Structure 1
């Protein structure tokens, strides 16, 4: 199994209630059930106020690297990425478990 973690940092001056952010969250929330390669899917807002904390996280699971690749290339995923590029940056980690 592959775990795919993504941590998002909202851009300077961008708030959680920004319409672009709400659309981006909805886009990623809707992926579970749309993309067959997804085995595990959870996402949510960070509640920590530590300075090093990111704002939003996605924690997902895939059978193998090929399934992860198909997910990453899927048009629905790419549509969400396009939205998030407008107002955030992110880091990822992919690992086997």
Structure 2
């Protein structure tokens, strides 16, 4: 299994209440029903207000490197990523567990 973690930071001046941001969060929330390679999925807004905290997180898992590639290249994933590029930056970590 491979754990896929993503932490998103909204760009300066962007609020999580904006319609485009809510649409982006919804697009990610819908991925488990669209991408069969996803074996586990959590996504949520951060509740911490610490200055170093990121704003949104995804914690997911896939079976192997091929499944991770299929997930990353899936059109629904790519569409969601395109939305987030407009208002956020992110970091990822993929590791076996």
Question: Is TM (by shorter chain) over 0.5?
Answer: yes
The aligned runs of 1:36-51 (5 Å cut-off) are 36-51=36-51
**Separation in 1 of the partners of 2:5 and 2:34?**
19
Matched, 1:5 2:2: no
SS of the residue 2:34 aligns to: coil
TM-score norm. by structure 1 comes to: 0.99
Runs in 1 of length 4+ with deviation above 6 angstroms? none
**How far is the alpha carbon of 1:6 from its aligned partner?**
0.2
**How far is the alpha carbon of 1:49 from its aligned partner?**
1.1
RMSD: 0.4
Matched, 1:59 2:49: no
Query: What residue ranges of structure 1 are gaps of 5+ in the alignment?
Result: none
Equivalenced residues, count: 97
**Separation in 2 of the partners of 1:84 and 1:71?**
16
**Separation in 1 of the partners of 2:46 and 2:77?**
21
Query: What residue ranges of structure 2 are gaps of 5+ in the alignment?
Result: none
1:13-71: per-residue Cα shift (whole Å, max 9, x none)?
A: 10011111011001000001210000000010001111110000000000001100000
**Separation in 2 of the partners of 1:33 and 1:82?**
19
Higher helix share: 2
